[in-house]
Structure 1
Amino acid sequence: MENLNLNDLKVMENKRRVRYGYMWALFCAVFWGIWYLPGTAVWCLNPFDEMSAAIAATHGESISLVVVAVLITAFNALTVVIALLLWNVVLGKHKVKELGRTIMEFKHCSKWFFLGSICGLIAVFGSYLAMGFIGAAFSAVAGLLYPVVGSTVARLWYGEKISKRALAGILIIVCGGIAIYAGGLVSEIATGEVQWFGYLGGLMAALGWGLEGAVAGKGLDLAEPDAAITIRFIGESMVWWIVVIPVLALLGFPMLHYAALIFDPFVLLVLMFAGITFGFCYVTWYKSFPLIGVGRGQGIGNLYGLFAVIFVFLFFGTSPGWAIIIGGILCVAGSFLMFTESTGDMESLRGE
């Protein structure tokens, strides 16, 4: 160790940083894939199933699925906040103090995570829409386009480097996304029953998560990931429970009535399972960004689609269509191309 010069130490530190960054991103993919299990199951449970039937009788099936997706997403955000607050308490008093300090530094720091909460809200709601209208396998794979958005915005906004290898991976992911959407649309157009809300939800997931990653990458220059992600979900919960749900209730939808029926032990268990898996998925996602960059963190996190399809098949017996399989393979291949990038290319994440 004594014979190492400064340059050798920098190389060793860079390799260590990249190794941990990829590790966090891989953990993110696993937790994210698991989240689709409770995310799928909750649609079949009361009060959500009963709520869907009641609204469909007066407003039609499409409107009922959209409104139920709002309530499910709102509870998802709330359970994630509970899980993350407990996580910060377990980590110690210094984390709780850091959370308070970050919230108070709105002008320079926490504004990015409140902005990220809007982007994430769009993504999670879109993902639940895709689950409700088309299915969990499509919802998981449709969102795989998000690294394209995140990498592009991070590059244009604050000059995050994109190597030729990473760019090639992004282009492969785009081809996968085209296969996912084109295959499903062609078959549904032929039958005359296109689930437009489901496809819109998939696009919302890709756009929202991509933008959130870029926004978070900016804010994480000034904040710890554990505090940052908690603020992001506090912001999303406030939007759902203070703005969206009261507005829908005023419009005549029974939001508060069915929200009050949530206290069934099994339903609460499923919702908390969703909150824990999604919360830790986000913790590891945010931890990867400062270490390997937004584009690469999102690229490796993209493996969640593979895990989600496997888990959904094992637990629910749902097998995806050929277009989803081909598109998913292309997206995973693009992510793997980014994963195998030389660590020397990541010595500096930002351009000069």
Structure 2
Amino acid sequence: MYEVSETVSLEAIAAKKKLSSNFFKKGISLALFSGLAYGLYTAFLTMGMTKGVWGDWYGSNTAGLSAFVVAYLLAALANAINDTCSAIWALSYALVKGKFRDFLRCINTAPGRIMILAALIGGPIAGTAYVIALQMAGSIVVPISALCPAIAAILGKILYKQELNKRMAFGIGVCVFASFLIGSTGFSGGASKSTVIGLLIAIIAALGWGFEGCVAGYGTAMIDPEIGICIRQVTSGIANLFILVPVFGMMAGGVNISVDLAMQAFTSGPAMIWFALSGLLSFITFMSWYAGNSMCGAGLGTACNGTYSFFGPLFCLLLLGVYGGMDGWSLPSVAWLGAIVMMFGILTISMNPLDLLRRKKEEV
């Protein structure tokens, strides 16, 4: 009787370990997929900004638009359209899952307001900065923007007194080194003013997303991640379309400019197909990232999501360079090396890489 009980107990422990291991591996897979999805989002969004009316706006004669409109207003409009499409996907998902009423109830709660704040930082500010940087300097800015986990670790220490040990400091140093390595390729043969400004604006995107990560971390700990993501995307879409774009319009000469451009953009079928896809991928990125974090831990999940520093330039090269036949989307080997180094730095910030080896030994 005792032997039977002990056998059953050992089998239960083994089954529990196997279940835990599978759960952990699935979380890593989802977090890695979120990085891949963000790389695709970057490529689809950029492709959309070359189609339909956007091709005229960014053409050789810029369709009579001012330099300010081309550099900043159009980027803000593209980000607004992407986030609006993403919000529609998020609301549709909430309706299908039967969580739309929960979404409405959570908006005016403390966690809901925190998510709104995070969305305002990460959407209109960081998101628009990211799109502007892409248009100015190309896919070289993607790994630079991936400094956000390093920035989040520093801000977490300053704002919330979170741990910042030697390993994490080393990882931050690796990320900074990788960013300089990548940025240096933009200066080969003489750097253009546009490239320099694009790289600097990419740092603004990294700062915004790093701060968003700190703020949203508290909110998502108290709210259903699916509801939190819905609040985030809807807030970002509304703020971009009805606040940021009109503000840029007034800076360009009048709100009518932004209204006219928005009407043309939303009715440009060839471009909207790509924006619908980029909005879907943007929504999927957050969905899979949050789900992965809950299964393998926020630290490792963030590190896996940071692989977009590699996937972003890769998919831009494949979609825009190879498929679209556009010049300027290939990266030098030093930049690819820097992206890989950046991924290692992000992993080191989030966790001790040796823990993965130890976990494998324990499973054996």
Q: Same-fold call, TM > 0.5?
A: yes
Within a 5 Å distance, the mapping from 1:1-352 to structure 2 comes to 3=9, 15=21, 18-52=24-58, 57=64, 59-60=66-67, 63-90=69-96, 92-93=97-98, 95-105=99-109, 108-121=110-123, 122-135=125-138, 137-158=139-160, 165=167, 167-184=169-186, 186-187=187-188, 190=190, 193-250=193-250, 251-252=253-254, 254-261=257-264, 262-317=266-321, 318-337=329-348, 340-342=353-355
d(CA) in 2 for partners of 1:183 and 1:216?
Answer: 33
**1:119-164: per-residue Cα shift (whole Å, max 9, x none)?**
21222111111111111x2132221211101223334444555676
Deviation at 1:329, TM superposition (A): 2.1
2: CA distance, partners of 1:238 / 1:214: 22
CA deviation after TM superposition for structure 1 residue 58, in Å: 5.7
Which secondary structure does the structure 1 equivalent of 2:208 belong to? helix
Cα distance change of structure 1 residues 113 and 55 upon mapping to structure 2, 3 Å threshold: farther
Code of the residue aligned with 1:333 in structure 2: it is: F
8 Å Cα contact 1:126-1:200 kept in structure 2: no
Conserved 8 A contact 2:43-2:315: yes
Task: Tell me: CA distance 1:215–1:41, structure 2 relative to 1, closer, same or farther (3 Å).
Answer: same
TM-aligned CA distance change 1:11 to 1:151, over 3 Å: farther
**Which amino acid is the alignment partner of residue 82 of structure 1?**
I
After superposition, give the CA deviation of every residue in 1:258-317 in whole Å (9 maximum; x if it has no partner): 211222332221110010011100112223344455443222111112222222222223
Report what 1:349 is aligned to: none
| Deviation readout 1:9-56 (Å, 9 max, x if unpaired) | 997786566434323211211111111221211221232333456778
- Contact 2:53/2:268, CA 8 A, preserved across alignment: no
CA distance in 2, matches of 1:11, 1:342: 17
Instruction: Identify the residue that residue 326 of structure 2 maps to in structure 1.
Output: none
Give the partner amino acid of 2:145. G
SS in 2 for 1:223: coil
The amino acid of 1:69's aligned partner reads A
Look up the match of 2:324: none
SS in 2 for 1:319: coil
- Structure 1 contact 130–138 (Cα < 8 Å) conserved: no
Size of the aligned set, in residue pairs, is 338
- After TM superposition, give the deviation of residue 199 of structure 1 in Å: 1.5
CA separation of 1:18 and 1:159: change in aligned 2, threshold 3 A? farther
Distance 1:193 1:246 in 2: 27
1:18, 1:343 within 8 Å by CA — same for their partners in 2? no
What whole-Å deviation, never above 9, does each CA across 1:216-257 have from its counterpart, x for those lacking one?
A: 211111111111011011111222222222333443262111
Which residue number corresponds to residue 362 of structure 2? none
Q: Distance in 2 between matches of 1:116 and 1:203?
A: 18
Partners of 2:15 and 2:356 in 1: CA distance: 14
Task: Give the whole-Å Cα distance in 2 for the aligned partners of 1:248 and 1:57.
Answer: 17
Give the distance between the partners of 2:172 and 2:100, measured in 1 at CA: 37
Q: Report if the CA contact (8 A) 1:48-1:258 is conserved.
A: no
Structure 2 Cα separation of the partners of residues 140 and 192 of structure 1: 18
Q: Distance in 2 between matches of 1:42 and 1:183?
A: 26
Q: Is the CA contact 1:139–1:202 (under 8 Å) kept in the aligned structure 2?
A: yes
Gaps of at least 5 residues in structure 2 are: 1-6, 322-328, 360-364
Secondary structure at the aligned position of 1:36 is classed as: helix
Query: Which whole-Å CA distance do the structure 1 matches of 2:357 and 2:169 have between them?
Result: 16
Q: Deviations over 1:67-122 (max 9, x none)?
A: 110110110110000111112222x22x22332232131xx211111111122122
Could you tell me how far apart the structure 2 residues matched to 1:76 and 1:18 are?
32
* Aligned equivalents of 1:164, 1:69: Cα separation in 2: 39
Amino acid at match of 1:219: G
TM-score (norm 1): 0.83
